[in-house]
Amino acid sequence: MVFPSFEAYIDLLKQAPFLQPWSAGLEIYFQYEVEEVDGGVRSRVQPDHIEEEILNMKALDVTQIYPDVTCPVLILRATDGMLAKDDILLPREVVERMIRTIPDARCVDVDGTNHYSIIFQANGVRDRAIMDFIHPFS
């Protein structure tokens, strides 16, 4: 879909419930996600790339490589879904399997976050978990 301007594109995104609250970080992210085309701007994300990714995800059983992971792993898990509270991208049972199978894996649930807000919003729980992970003795 082509939008007449970046502002028109952003205005639509600002209405998405899973991108709330809107932040400067999201605006910067989406600035890099668009490309100029005849008539305005559009997302760089190509539908055929998404379809290819879905096929790849279905073809690969990532659980088979869990035992091969040899470095410490921190899983930051968003507890809210994208479009509904229960639309979780990383369900609890998947994380539990990862923790059982990946040596030295740990998980921190970041309550009240979704796939986007866990990254783009300020969050003390997330930040403390990362600091504890990279500096375990500080």
In three-state secondary structure terms, 42 is strand
Total number of domains in the chain: 2
Quick one: pLDDT at residue 138? 59
Domain that holds residue 103: 61-138
- Which pTM value belongs to this model? 0.78
Residues 90 and 22 in one domain: no
pLDDT at 73: 96
Same domain, 107 and 134: yes
The verdict on 39 and 71 lying in the same domain is: no
Boundary of a domain, candidates 31, 60, 89: 60
Task: Identify whether residues 72 and 124 lie together within a single domain.
Answer: yes
Residues of the chain falling short of pLDDT 70: 137-138
Residue 57, pLDDT score: 83
Q: Residue 47 has what pLDDT?
A: 87
Q: Which of 60, 77, 97 is at the close of a domain? A: 60
- Is 50 found in the same domain as 15? yes
Q: Which pair of structure tokens corresponds to residue 105?
A: 């894996």
Same structural domain for residues 75 and 138? yes
pLDDT at 137: 64
Q: Which among 13, 42, 60 is the end of a domain? A: 60
Q: Are residues 44 and 74 in the same domain?
A: no
Query: Residue 107's closest CA among 135, 76, 69?
Result: 76
What percent of the chain lies above the pLDDT cut of 90?
Answer: 66
The end-to-end CA distance of the chain, in Å, is 49
In terms of domains, do 29 and 46 share one? Answer: yes
